[in-house]
Amino acid sequence: MAALTEVRHREQFLERPLPSSDDSERAILGAILLDNSLITQAVEQLKPADFYSPLNRRIFGAMISLFESCRGAS
Residues in the chain: 74
pTM for the whole structure: 0.73
Question: Phi and psi (nearest 5°) for 16?
Answer: -70, 145
| Separation between Cα atoms, residue 20 and residue 55, nearest integer Å | 14
Residue 20 is predicted with a pLDDT of 86
Taking only the tens place, the pLDDT of each residue in 3-57 is 667 667 666 666 667 778 999 999 999 999 999 999 999 999 999 999 999 999 9
Neighbours of 67 (CB within 10 A): 16
Cβ burial 13-33 (10 Å sphere, 16+ → b, else e): eeeeeeeeeeeebeebbeebe
Domain ranges of the chain: 19-73
